[in-house]
Amino acid sequence: MVPSAQSVINFLQEAFEANVLRRFYRPDGSFMHVELQIEDTVVMLGDATNTWSATVAQLHIYVQDVIGTYQRAIHAGGISVLEPSRKEGDPDRRAGVKDPAGNTWWIATQEA
Protein backbone atom coordinates (compact mmCIF):
# COMPACT_ATOMS: atom_id res chain seq x y z
CA MET A 1 0.00 0.00 0.00
CA VAL A 2 1.42 3.35 -1.04
CA PRO A 3 0.35 6.98 -0.48
CA SER A 4 -0.02 7.65 -4.22
CA ALA A 5 -0.30 4.57 -6.39
CA GLN A 6 -0.34 6.60 -9.61
CA SER A 7 3.03 8.21 -8.81
CA VAL A 8 4.57 4.81 -8.13
CA ILE A 9 2.99 3.36 -11.29
CA ASN A 10 4.44 6.22 -13.34
CA PHE A 11 7.85 5.70 -11.75
CA LEU A 12 7.80 1.94 -12.39
CA GLN A 13 6.76 2.42 -16.00
CA GLU A 14 9.54 4.91 -16.68
CA ALA A 15 12.26 3.31 -14.57
CA PHE A 16 11.58 -0.38 -15.16
CA GLU A 17 9.48 -0.31 -18.33
CA ALA A 18 6.73 -1.93 -16.28
CA ASN A 19 3.49 -2.99 -17.95
CA VAL A 20 0.18 -2.71 -16.13
CA LEU A 21 -1.48 -6.13 -16.21
CA ARG A 22 -4.63 -5.44 -14.20
CA ARG A 23 -6.14 -2.61 -12.18
CA PHE A 24 -9.18 -2.46 -9.93
CA TYR A 25 -10.65 0.75 -8.58
CA ARG A 26 -12.53 1.63 -5.42
CA PRO A 27 -15.82 3.56 -5.72
CA ASP A 28 -13.92 6.81 -5.00
CA GLY A 29 -11.64 6.19 -8.02
CA SER A 30 -8.52 5.29 -6.03
CA PHE A 31 -6.58 2.15 -6.83
CA MET A 32 -7.68 -0.85 -4.82
CA HIS A 33 -5.26 -3.20 -6.60
CA VAL A 34 -2.81 -2.82 -9.47
CA GLU A 35 -0.53 -5.49 -10.95
CA LEU A 36 2.55 -4.48 -12.91
CA GLN A 37 5.03 -6.71 -14.71
CA ILE A 38 8.73 -5.87 -14.65
CA GLU A 39 10.53 -8.35 -16.89
CA ASP A 40 9.55 -11.72 -15.29
CA THR A 41 8.39 -10.21 -11.98
CA VAL A 42 4.85 -9.18 -11.02
CA VAL A 43 4.44 -6.43 -8.41
CA MET A 44 1.12 -5.57 -6.75
CA LEU A 45 0.20 -2.30 -5.06
CA GLY A 46 -2.73 -0.09 -4.16
CA ASP A 47 -3.57 3.29 -2.69
CA ALA A 48 -3.38 3.49 1.09
CA THR A 49 -6.60 4.17 3.01
CA ASN A 50 -7.59 4.77 6.62
CA THR A 51 -7.98 1.01 6.96
CA TRP A 52 -4.89 0.02 4.93
CA SER A 53 -2.04 2.39 5.77
CA ALA A 54 0.97 2.94 3.53
CA THR A 55 3.87 0.58 4.14
CA VAL A 56 7.44 1.19 3.05
CA ALA A 57 9.12 -1.88 1.58
CA GLN A 58 12.41 -3.07 0.21
CA LEU A 59 12.17 -5.10 -2.98
CA HIS A 60 14.89 -6.97 -4.86
CA ILE A 61 14.54 -7.80 -8.54
CA TYR A 62 16.84 -9.05 -11.27
CA VAL A 63 16.94 -7.13 -14.54
CA GLN A 64 18.79 -7.61 -17.82
CA ASP A 65 20.75 -4.34 -17.52
CA VAL A 66 21.25 -2.98 -14.01
CA ILE A 67 23.20 0.08 -15.21
CA GLY A 68 20.58 1.15 -17.76
CA THR A 69 17.74 0.42 -15.34
CA TYR A 70 19.44 2.41 -12.59
CA GLN A 71 19.94 5.38 -14.94
CA ARG A 72 16.27 5.27 -16.02
CA ALA A 73 15.19 5.09 -12.36
CA ILE A 74 17.22 8.19 -11.49
CA HIS A 75 15.86 10.00 -14.54
CA ALA A 76 12.34 9.02 -13.42
CA GLY A 77 12.89 10.82 -10.10
CA GLY A 78 14.28 7.98 -8.03
CA ILE A 79 16.75 8.74 -5.26
CA SER A 80 20.02 6.83 -5.39
CA VAL A 81 20.74 4.51 -2.48
CA LEU A 82 23.61 2.66 -4.17
CA GLU A 83 25.17 3.22 -7.58
CA PRO A 84 25.66 0.06 -9.66
CA SER A 85 28.55 -1.82 -8.09
CA ARG A 86 29.87 -5.28 -7.54
CA LYS A 87 31.33 -6.62 -4.29
CA GLU A 88 34.18 -9.09 -4.31
CA GLY A 89 32.90 -12.64 -4.46
CA ASP A 90 29.36 -11.56 -5.45
CA PRO A 91 28.35 -12.46 -9.03
CA ASP A 92 25.71 -9.71 -9.03
CA ARG A 93 26.13 -6.08 -10.04
CA ARG A 94 23.63 -4.34 -7.77
CA ALA A 95 22.13 -0.87 -7.34
CA GLY A 96 19.50 0.70 -5.10
CA VAL A 97 16.91 3.41 -5.76
CA LYS A 98 14.06 4.86 -3.69
CA ASP A 99 10.74 5.45 -5.46
CA PRO A 100 8.30 8.36 -4.81
CA ALA A 101 6.67 6.41 -1.94
CA GLY A 102 9.99 5.75 -0.19
CA ASN A 103 10.27 2.09 -1.18
CA THR A 104 13.80 0.90 -1.90
CA TRP A 105 14.26 -1.07 -5.10
CA TRP A 106 17.37 -3.23 -5.12
CA ILE A 107 18.10 -4.10 -8.72
CA ALA A 108 20.72 -6.55 -9.88
CA THR A 109 22.15 -8.32 -12.89
CA GLN A 110 24.08 -11.57 -12.60
CA GLU A 111 27.42 -11.22 -14.32
CA ALA A 112 28.99 -14.67 -13.63
Q: Which architecture does CATH list for 5-49+57-110?
A: Roll (3.10)
Average pLDDT score over the chain = 96
- What is the pLDDT confidence band of residue 98, given thresholds at 50, 70 and 90? very high
Largest CA distance in the chain: 52
Segments making up each domain of the chain, as ranges:
5-49+57-110
Q: What is the pTM of this model?
A: 0.93
Helix axes 66-75, 5-16, angle to 10 degrees: 140
In tens, the pLDDT along 30-45 reads 999 999 999 999 999 9
Q: Which H or E run contains 32?
A: strand 31-38
